[in-house]
Each structure stands twice: as C-alpha cells, then as structure tokens.
Amino acid sequence: MATKTYLQAINEALRQEMERDSNVLIFGEDVGQFGGCFGVTQGLFDRFGEDRVRDTPITESAIVGAATGAAAAGLRPVAELMFVDFIGVALDQLFNQAAKMRYMFGGKAKIPMVLRMPQGAGVGAAAQHSQSLEAWFMHVPGLKVAIPATPYDAKGLLISAIRDDNPVIFLEHKMLYGTEGEVPDEEYTIDFGKAKVVKEGEDLTIVATSQMVLTALEAAEQLAKDGINAEVVDPRTLSPLDMDTILTSVEKTHALLIAHEAVKTAGPGAEIAARVAEDAFDQLDAPIVRVGAPFTPVPFSPPLEQAFIPGVEQIVKAAKKMRE
C-alpha cells in the first residue's frame, strides 16, 4: 500500500466517490478553486467543475440547510464547515431537521448527507476555532458520528459515510492532516460501530479518540518501560459506539482510562465511563479515569494552548496512579 497523508486520504475518498456516483457533490466555504481552508478539496473543482464543487456564502445555516434539502431530494451532498466551532449557527438545520426528518417521515425519507468539520487545538487558532465538540453530536438521535485517527480510517470511514442514507458528522482533527499511513489506492469501506484495538495489552485499557490515539500510543510505549502493558482501543465512530469491543478489553485488563481532547466535563469519555460502569462494574479493579482538557476556552497563547491539550505525561501519570 502507498503511504499517504490524512489529508490525501480524505481527498482521495471524495474523488473516488464523486467518480463512482454522479449524485455526490461538495459545497462549503472556499472548497472550490481555492481547494479548502486546509487544502482537503484541492483539485476537485478542476476535475468535476462548479456544478459539483461549489463555493458558498459565509452562512453555515445555509450550508447545512442546503445539504439537508439536497439529501432529501436524492443527492448525496458532502458539506464542509471550515471549523466545527461554527456549527452553532446551523444547529436548527442539523439537530431539528437533518437528524429528525427520516424518523418524522416514517422512514420514507432518506438524508444521505455528510458534514465534514475540522476540529481540535494545536494551531494557535484560539477559543472560537479550536474546540472539540464531538459530545454535542453524540447526544442527538439520528446523527452518526465518525472521528478517524489515521489516514486509513479516514478514507474508509468517509466512503462509508457518503454511502450511508443517514446524516453523518465527520470530524477531522486539524493536527492530523499531515500525519502519514498506509492507504490502499482502491475504494474500501469501514463499518460504523466497529472499534479497533490499535495495540494489544493486558494490564490497562486506554480508550482514545482522534489525535489522542497517537498520544495514547506514545504513552503506552512509556508505560511499557515501567512494566505496564496497556491496550489502546480507538472507537473510530462515537455514534454508533462499539461498546462490545471496549467491554471485552476491560474484561481482560480490569482497568479503564479514557483519553480525549474535548473538555473532560460531559465529554465523550463520560458516556463511555457510564456504560462500562453499568455493564462491567464487577470487572474493574480500580475506578475509571478520564483524561481530557480542562473546563476552559482554548487559549491563544502557545504555552497555554499546549498546557490545555492533554498529553503523554498526563496519560502516563493517570495510568500509574491507577496501578497503585
């Protein structure tokens, strides 16, 4: 397999699906000739033209509303918001329309739309352009939520998202765009609701999402030096959430640490922890521990921003404390 960046994998998935299905179209701010704020849609305007790769006004409500209407009418739109932070402008279109229409029409309507949104801190974009908001979308019935950590998963999950007949939230961490991994040239899909055991271990389960998967793997290497063999599990999708894989891991290791960049308060780790406590409490030898960002806006100051983002040291410290 060829080595490709996370960004290239997403771009390839978009191109291949647009070649396969003429109903797939892309729109959003600067996704056309400019190629997207982060370059993800580079080259697609030249390949498919302005009828299928369209720039929009800076109006998130219009972008999400148009995607919902286009999907209901039979197209398969892939809409992009430049930053996940702007979703607040379009919450009614997403939460009350896209997420509810199939249910309210008795299953007769399909809403095959994908909403791609970069999120996460690390690029000095400050409080209004750096949040991790995946927990918001997990809370809404009718939405599927994908949060890939690797180029391979990014391509496979995006192809699955585009082919799905339900609205999918596709979250891309900005700091992952330049990361590399092996990605097949051909099309492939990854099923939603299927977690991946990234590293096997027997002393501790670390469930991590998005960029924190890479951080967790680094932490696992350090823990191994101290004789702690950690297992790292990447859910890959948060709705549906593969609790079977997580519970199987916890039953083996008898300890659970959850790591995500979203703020710890009411973050995705809270849901995972609650479900494990409900279904596998007797399997735990120690309290469940969550590692997440502090309950504060993302700072602009580079040193403060780095202090905000959970790191290897925090995971290692938390894991060692669990073993005491």
Determine the Cα–Cα distance for residues 195 and 211; give it in Å rounded to an integer.
15
Is the distance from CB of 249 to CB of 211 less than 8 angstroms? no
CA pair distance 249, 145, nearest whole angstrom: 22
Cα–Cα distance list, 114 to 142, 172, 270 (Å): 13, 13, 26
Sequence-separated (6 or more) residues with CB below 8 Å from residue 87: 60, 64, 81, 94, 117, 133, 136
State how far the Cα of 140 lies from the Cα of 115, in Å rounded to an integer.
15
- Indicate which residues carry an active-site annotation: 129
Output the CA–CA distances (angstroms, integers) from residue 159 to 170, 184, 247, in the order listed.
Answer: 11, 13, 28
What whole-number distance in Å separates Cα of residue 232 and Cα of residue 207? Answer: 6
